[in-house]
Amino acid sequence: MVDTKTALSGWELDNPVIPASGTFGFGQEFAAFYDLGILGSIALKGTTKEPRFGNPTPRIAECTEGMLNSVGLQNPGVHKVIKEELPELKKIFPKKAIANVGGFSEEEYVYVASLFDKEEQIGLIELNVSCPNVHAGGMSFGTDPKKVESLTRAVKAAVKKPLYVKLSPNVTDIAEIALAAESGGADGVALINTLLGMRIDLKTKKPVLANKKGGFSGRAVFPVALRMVYDVYEAVHIPVIGMGGISRAEDVMEMMLAGASAVEVGAENLVDPFACRNMIRDLPRVMEKYGVKSLKEIIGGAHR
């Protein structure tokens, strides 16, 4: 028997597979396909203080081995999430979830995170300083080490649950940003968020997305994400959640060898709603194939 368990800051997961924020909603749509209880956890849709409609349409564009999105943190607001979405989630998901916190000011991040911190259903807070699809907040925080450190310190002072900072790949040195999060008191980091990209319609000769640019995700970004996870693991002394282009159990193990303690699966959920379930089912077989008895033992194995 192989052991698929892993841990994030003392929180033990049955397996490392977590649907990424923004690609799984609040779980309801996917509960019709399979038992969500098999998941390691669920990263909830990015949540802000007030409800957000998001960016104008069109805000999705297909790409080779990936997709562009410019949704813009559409969400019902933190109060509705806590009052309505969390009770509904509890009916279909017996484990603790990850709250993904967005904001447009330090005060807003602190406000939203402190509310989620009080919820028993939340096991970890993921601070989203890397969304490329909003004009203030998000990536404008996450590309500046000083802002990352300051924001992390402010939120960490307001919460008791583990705080992970979700990093943008749209920087010169992602390890520098990770170190800033660690200096600010982060319990861990999560990476990567989407790469900034665009498409142009040859008929209209204009950008496909109404917002012109959007976040590129999908299988094509996996080698970039893997390299960044590898670099960050070498730089910090806190756990790493790896994401970006993961589509199969082999990718999960590769990410863990690069240094990830767990992974998040994003765009692949939109390609195949059974993606996370299939990875979890395949993990034991792939582990046996490569002589791995315990996933915890291979974390960072490529560095040794």
Active site residues: 131
195 sits in which H/E element: strand 195-197
> 301: helix, coil or strand?
helix
Torsion (CA) 130, 125, 294, 94 in degrees, nearest 10? -130
Q: Cβ–Cβ contacts within 10 Å for residue 266, how many? A: 28
The dihedral built from the CA positions of residue 237, 239, 243 and 249, taken in this order, carries a sign that is: positive
User: Which residue from 64, 184, 187, 178 is spatially nearest to 130, judged by alpha carbons?
Assistant: 178
Cβ(279)–Cβ(230) below 8 Å:
no
DSSP 196-256: EE--EETTTTEESSTTS-EEEESGGGHHHHHHHHHHHHHH-SS-EEEESS--SHHHHHHHH
93 burial type by CB count under 10 A (0-12 exposed, 13-18 middle, 19+ buried): buried
Sheet holding 97-101: strands in order across? 17-19, 262-265, 240-243, 188-191, 163-166, 122-128, 97-101
Q: How far apart are CA 167 and CA 84, in angstroms?
A: 29
The dihedral built from the CA positions of residue 174, 175, 178 and 183, taken in this order, carries a sign that is: negative
